[in-house]
Homo-oligomer: A and B are copies of this chain.
Amino acid sequence: MAVILQSEPFDPGQLLGSFCAGRRETGAVASFTGLARAEDGATMTLELEAYPGFTDAAIEDMAAAAAARFDLQDLLIVHRTGPIAPGEAIVFVATAASHRRAAFEACDHLMDWLKSRAPFWKKEHGPDGARWIEPTDRDRTDAGRWDEESKP
């Protein structure tokens, strides 16, 4: 299990290739790659601020809980920080499990949490200047699905 915050661009293909390599007891690997959209030129650059030591600790706690909840064999989370150009990958999540339902649900769950609750601050630099972004209602709804499901 690894959680990596980095300011350098990464290649999701390379990450998935390494993650899948040499597995003999894993039946299912789900992955998600979030890319920075150009939004028809409206967004020039995205900037993500993290609090080192706080943001990564929060993601690691969440990842450990998800690994236990979904009985994962392994997981990898790589998240960019700093300025991110359109078309570049922002986040990569891969989950490995015996069966596909667990791999999919864990990946979906981790992404919902990362997109709505992970301690990042996001700024969009566009043609009309810069603005700080807050979570959308959809993000909150998506993350809330898992709260409902975890009720006894």
Contacts and interface: CB of A to CB of B under 8 A. Distances in A.
A126 to B, nearest CB: 15
Nearest to A105: B108
A100 B87 contact: no
A15 B12 contact: no
Given A34-B28, A111-B100, A17 B23 contact: no
Given A12-B16, A24-B86, A142-B101, A32 B35 contact: no
A24 to B, nearest CB: 4
Contacts of A25: 37-40
B87 A23 contact: yes
A27 B34 contact: yes
Given A32-B104, A100-B115, A17 B11 contact: yes
B23 A13 contact: no
Contacts of A86: 24
Interface string A74-102: 00000000000011010000000011110
A39 to B, nearest CB: 8
A103 interface: yes
B30 A35 contact: no
Contacts of A101: 138, 142
19 contacts: A11-B17, A12-B29, A13-B15, A13-B20, A16-B31, A22-B87, A23-B87, A25-B37, A25-B38, A25-B40, A27-B34, A28-B33, A29-B33, A29-B35, A30-B30, A30-B32, A30-B107, A100-B111, A104-B111
